[in-house]
Amino acid sequence: MNYVLAIIAGLIGAVLGWVAAAALAIGVGSMLGASNFEGALGMQAVFGIGPIGGVIGLVVGIWLALRKGGQTHTGAIAWRFPIVIAAIACIVAGAFWYFYETRPLLASSGNAAPRLDFEIRLPPGVDFAAPAEAIRVELSTEQNRMPGTIRDKSARKDGDRTVATGSVELAYRSGWRLLELKTEPGQPARIFDLKLPARPRHMKDFGPWRRVDLLAQGNQQPQPAGPAEAYELRSRVVYPEAEYAEESRQKSH
């Protein structure tokens, strides 16, 4: 129980010490006429001076809690200090990990959002009749709907089958993702269940080919695609910074 109280006291002391040191730095800086151009004084106080107060508050909070718990000897307090500090470090690291993994946006600070590169393999002997810009691709999640593009509607041939390529941005963490393909009026919308993790990782290579999962005609509810539905899709998740690193390594070799 003493350790729990010491952990709580340390966290509270760190927060109070950080706030007090930052407030004091702002007050003293204002009295001395320090420049606050574009919030420079506040930033320096919060991120420059605040951490010093946070460390002092952390140490004082733990020390007071251990003393109150009956540890009056310096040696007894000293060997318990690293245990409490390690526990607090684990809690803070776990909190950062949790908030990072559950943040809604997939883009991180300074990096662009990932994209989904996909290839669509048409049935044997079938080609897109409409131009590439008229083919509609849309990614649906519980967070948003994002239009995609067909970059090349006849990128290559795979035997007697045409393979088209395209991409769409993956903006949000999501529990499910459906990619909808609309080729031309009168044709049903073909829907692929991508079955990606909520926060997918960078993929160097394309995954396996998947058959279309659902067909939607007009405003009707989507229905399971039959075995004769031969449209197929494969995809990969691309993080631009990882892709750039891969390209740089290839060039260096």
Give the number of other Cβ atoms within 10 Å of residue 245's Cβ.
12
Q: Which two tokens stand for residue 196?
A: 């990606």
pLDDT tens for residues 78-137?
777 888 889 889 988 988 888 777 778 887 766 788 999 999 999 998 888 888 888 999
Compute the radius of gyration of the chain from its Cα atoms.
28
Query: At 10, is the pLDDT very low, low, confident or very high (cuts 50, 70, 90)?
Result: confident
Alpha-carbon distance of 174 to 183, in angstroms, equals 26
Contact (Cβ atoms closer than 8 angstroms) between residue 87 and residue 40: no
| Residue 207 φ then ψ, to 5° | -80, -175
Q: Position 49: which residue type?
A: I
pTM tops 0.75: no
Contacts of 47 (CB under 8 A, 6+ apart): none
pLDDT in tens, 138-164: 999 998 999 999 999 888 999 999 999
> What domains can be seen in the chain, in order of their start residue?
2-102 (no CATH), 115-239 (2.60.40)
Q: What is the pLDDT of residue 69?
A: 66
Say whether pLDDT at 72 is over 70. no
Q: What is the pLDDT of residues 43-63, one digit of tens each?
A: 888 888 888 989 999 889 888
Q: Which residue has the tokens 């662009």?
A: 112
Please compute the mean of the pLDDT values over residues 153-178 and round it to a whole number. 93
Q: Is the pLDDT of residue 234 over 90?
A: yes
- Rounded to an integer, the average pLDDT of 66-76 is 69
pLDDT reading at 237 higher than 80: yes
Closest listed residue to residue 203, CA positions, set 105, 97, 119, 103: 119
Strands 214-216, 223-224: pairing is antiparallel
Q: What is the pLDDT of residues 185-225, one digit of tens each?
A: 888 999 999 999 999 999 999 999 999 999 998 788 899 99
Instruction: Enter the tokens of residue 236.
Output: 């990969």
167: left (phi over 0), alpha (psi -120 to 50) or beta: beta
Classify the C-alpha dihedral 243-110-113-103 as positive or negative. Answer: positive
User: What is the residue whose two structure tokens read 């393999």?
Assistant: 121
pLDDT at 73 over 70: no
